[in-house]
Amino acid sequence: MAILRRWLVAILATSLVLARPQARCDSYQTCHELAYAEVANMTLTELVGQMTQVDISTILNSDRTLNVTKVEAMAKLHIGSYLNSPFAGGPVGSKAGWTATEWRTLLTSIQSIHAKHSKHPILYGLDSVHGANYVTHAVMFPQQINAAASFNRDLVTEMGHVTGRDTEAAGIPWIFGPILDVQTSKMWARAYETFGEDPYVVTELGRAIVHGLQDNNTVAACFKHFIGYAATPTGHDRDPVTLSDYDVLNYYMPPFQAAIDAGALTGMMNYVSVNGKPMGVNHKLLVKLLRHDLAFKGMLVTDWAVINDLHSFHHVAATDQDAVRQALTHTSIDMSMVASDTLFINHTLALLETKQLHVGRLRESVQRITALKLRLHLYDAPVPGQANVASVGDRASQDLAYKLATESLVLLKNANSTLPIANWTTSIFLTGPSIASIGHLCGGWSLAWQGVSGPNTNALFPHGQTVQDALRVTCPTCAIEAMPGVDVDGTYSKDVLEDAVKKAARADYTIVVLGEGPYAEKPGDINDLELPRGQQEYVRALAATGTKVVLVLVQGRPRLLRGLPDVVHAVVNAMLPCELGGRTIADVLLGKVVPSGKLPFTYPKTVTDSAVPYYHRQNLGCVVHGTSGECDHEWPFGAGLSYTSFEYSNFSLSTKSSLNDLHFHVTLRNNGEVDAKEIVLLFVRQPIRRGDVPEAKRLVHFVKVDVPKYTTRNVLLQVPVDALCTFGHRIGHGLKRKIVPGQYDFSLNQGEGGAISLTLHATKEAVYAFSMAPVSEGTTDEVLSKRDMAEHAPLDVARASDVAAAI
């Protein structure tokens, strides 16, 4: 009753928009103890209602105003949660979204109506996946794929902080993010939502953004989409996947493990079937792996209508009611995102009445739901975040989004130092379908689910500029001619092409900004990864004039270029930098910013290799020139140039290394005339690994370093020996790591200037030596012997990281 009294008092304050922070339970144990007592007194209708989440559209009128009668009906059912933006489907009239204040007005009304019929506040969730992208005037950050290209943990943490703050300012404390899927097929429509193809990068940046999202302790992150969702063999969204336990544990699980260790309060499971078992009934993955091996104690929500899909899509349930029975019997799902109706409640109550479900199963889930609401202080402040409203869209947030965008652009080709454009009185022909569209720069999940583009949509991005406008502002003395020339689908007219060719012929530089329009999820499916032929033809026609062609790629996935890099002078992969992207692209092209991003994925050259990550098994061969060999690609993982040159030297293993941690040092020199940042990547490769085919190589550490011109930096790379371990093969038996005795070769980046290798020798008894030698020489420059290491702590096989087999 104490909780109820607090809730009623708080809602009176909410009705006056006076939500204020008060004491709350901050520990898992305390919150769950309070929740346990509350849940024990709930009726069956309350229990089932709390497990139900419906879309906001179910309680709105067609003009997006609140339908009080519908809200009252939901409140009487004790609905526990709502989700989504009323404008996810696109603008309604002249309205494309709500400000934080407008959101707060809506949520205050909803909470007030629920308070009349329910003891419990509703929990509102929103897909804030690159900033508060459904809150008008909030700064929209680059998409996650750009954040990955920055390789900057600190910026990603700050992005998470602003995202959480701005979403909470709208009265919404639950964020459906981060996306922790490890990108597999480059054709997948959700590739841009990820942190790329490398498990270590996804793990590190996933941990960083969770810390940022939840750093004020009043916002809940929701890791998604557990697990294996991105492993589609076809590249089509929601297609079934086949994964071994080894692949799940070593490639797809680590990011989720890191998020859980970072304190992520909630998780979301996905749509697909794994090895023929839909996730909605997958006991092995949702109970054995998630709850047992990963020890996740937080609240788990389904994705959109996942339980209904068991009947209508996967065909493993005879009816929708049978689907509910199977899902609640076999998994640890706590909340059903039923989306558009409340039949989940009817089905669950019927199953309880016929004793096909036990009430204890529901109490277990509702205890987690209630504990979350307590942890977020919703009983005291059901519409949180009032103090943050004034910060939404502020200059500091814009500066942060700009900085992240600048560090994410990847320079992939720069023949004869074509870039930067140093002469600001030069003539430029700017063309391509994305030169005048901020919506193209942002992609999907930007104001609307499928994004926005087309005439008159640029005004919806108050902090942004198009590439065309930004280039004119940044270089007012440049003679710039501009025209789109070709549509994003590749269509163009003969007359327009002839005009474009004339403009290119008289320009010193031709900048072509092309790629993809916005899309999200299933509507973004494609059958061909190739850049539309018309776009290719357009670029080739311009290049034939002899002008210096700079190709700027605005795209959510790496479209096949079919030789285009060979006919242009420079290539910049901008991906989806969003509303600060126009300014970013202009500043990089004109040299105001030195590019420092690197590819967080392998850029494929052929569609058959588009689902092959760089860390593929060593016995995987691709067909190259008619024979099996190393997979061909346009650019490798980690590719990225600068406007300066870096020199690596003195790669060594420190005597401070122990059997727990390896300390590498490398000297990095900036030999150029500009200050710049360099991303140092450290890879490991096992020439032989007994028992399992080893990967071609694996990333074990990265660091981004500021290096002023003509300056040397000594870089430390600290690698836990755990990073050399692999997880065992059995899900549900605890997370057991092992390290295979043998040789481990370490190398930096892509071998620019000559790769350097470090070899670790191990036996079953112990690591007995580390030796360093340049690959090209094969000589030992330094050996750290077993005697030298005796004073350092041995590997503790019983510690929390669960290294099961001693080295």
DSSP H stretches of helix in 506-580 = 533-543, 564-567
Distance from C-alpha of 172 to C-alpha of 153, rounded to nearest angstrom: 25
Catalytic member of 303, 320, 380, 587: 303
Beta-carbon contacts of residue 229 (< 8 Å; ≥ 6 apart): 181, 190, 241, 270, 271, 272
Q: Which residues pair with 131 in a beta bridge?
A: 140
Reference 409, options 564, 553, 562; nearest CA is 553
No. of H helices and E strands in the chain?
23, 31
Rounded to 10°, the helix 467-474/581-589 angle is 50
- Give the SS3 label for residue 588: helix
Computed from CA positions of residues 346, 349, 355, 360, in that sequence, does the dihedral angle turn out positive or negative? positive
Q: Convert 187-196 to b/e letters by CB count within 10 Å (16 or more is b).
A: bbbbbbbbbb
Distance from C-alpha of 485 to C-alpha of 499, rounded to nearest angstrom: 9
Which DSSP state fits 140? Answer: B
Reference 383, options 706, 772, 17, 759; nearest CA is 17
Q: How far is CA 341 from CA 56, 270, 304, in A?
A: 11, 20, 12
Query: Which pair of structure tokens corresponds to residue 176?
Result: 């459906």
The DSSP code sequence of 170-199 is TT--EE---B------TT-TTGGGSS-S-H
Most distant CA atoms of the chain, gap in Å: 80
Distance from C-alpha of 428 to C-alpha of 421, rounded to nearest angstrom: 10
Query: Which pair of structure tokens corresponds to residue 719?
Result: 């690698």
Q: How far is CA 384 from CA 15, 119, 128, 252, in A?
A: 13, 18, 16, 34
The answer to whether residue 303 is catalytic is yes
H or E element that contains 4:
helix 2-15
- State the SS3 of 206-261: HHHHHHHHCCCCCCEEEEEEECCCCCCCCCCCCCCECCCHHHHHHHHCHHHHHHHH
Q: Which residue has the tokens 């953004």?
A: 209
* Active-site amino acid positions: 303
